[in-house]
Amino acid sequence: MTRILSAGAVALALTFGQALPAAGQATAPSAQSAEVDAKAALVRRYFAAIQFDKLMNGMIESMLQNILADPRIPAEKREVIEDVALESFAAVMPGYMDRVVAVYAEEFTREELEGVVEFYESPVGRSLTARSVILTRRTGELMNYFQPAFEADMQRRLCDRIGCEPDVVPTSKR
């Protein structure tokens, strides 16, 4: 119960922490806040265009698969863990997204964001977005294929420099 309350408190703090003005802080909009709002709206359009929500859902599903693959978790607890993880994800996500939007709005100019949105809302940008899932899967498969060669080469180079036997260098298989 304490963890649930703590998670709820974190979600509330993340969601509302930036939304409320500090005591005595003026709430009248300024040219600067209008610019920030415009940039934030562009970031949200970009995220909609690239289907960022699907990317995040895929990330949580992948994390869940890794967690639930742990043989120490009893089978009868897996469904509860999955439900709680998805509830927590849904609770924290709005605050997380607000912060991610703010980071993008800080890092890019309005003109850059307008260009990014224009591209990703174009037919070519939509095509790239539609193919991104399969491209990620295929390039991941390539990485799995090349990983043994990478590790063997790294072991050889490392041992050449520090004077060791390649089979004593840790790899992902060990």
pLDDT tens-place string over residues 50-82? 999 888 888 888 888 888 888 898 989 889 999
Would you tell me the crossing angle of helices 31-49 and 75-107 to the nearest 10 degrees?
A: 130
Q: Model confidence at 8, in pLDDT bands (50, 70, 90)?
A: very low
Whole-prediction pTM value?
0.63
How is the chain split among helix, strand and coil, in percent rounded to 5?
Answer: 80, 0, 20
Q: Determine the average pLDDT of the residues in 83-93.
A: 92
Angle at 103 between CA 57 and CA 94, to 5 degrees: 40
Q: Model confidence at 19, in pLDDT bands (50, 70, 90)?
A: very low
Q: Report pLDDT digits (tens) over 115-169.
A: 999 999 999 999 999 998 889 889 989 988 999 999 889 888 999 999 887 776 5
Q: What whole-number distance in Å separates Cα of residue 116 and Cα of residue 42?
A: 9
